[in-house]
Amino acid sequence: MPKSKKPSSPSLKDWEKQATSELNGKASSSIHWKTPEGIEIKPLYTAEDLEKFAY
């Protein structure tokens, strides 16, 4: 069995570029939404988002 490299994950920048393309030029922030409690929900979360929390 040949040894192959682990596929690389797209970066957040790559994701945002693809999202903007699929949103016909709108920023990915245009699809954020809020819960009834006023909490903003993003379409994608990454490990960087977790670094903001102390737990």
pLDDT number for residue 9: 80
pLDDT digits (tens, 9 = 90+) for 2-54: 677 777 788 889 999 999 999 999 988 899 999 999 999 999 998 888 898 88
Token output for 49:
């988002």
Expressed as residue numbers, the domain containing 50 is 10-24+35-55
**Rounded Cα gap, residues 42 and 33, in angstroms:** 7
Cα distances (Å, whole numbers) of residue 20 to 3, 7, 24, 32, 38: 35, 23, 6, 13, 25
3 state DSSP class of 35? coil
Q: Is residue 55 part of a domain?
A: yes
- Written as six digits, the tokens of 15 are 């994701």
How many domains are there within the chain? 1
Asked if residue 44 is part of any domain, the answer here is yes
CA distance 1 to 43: 38
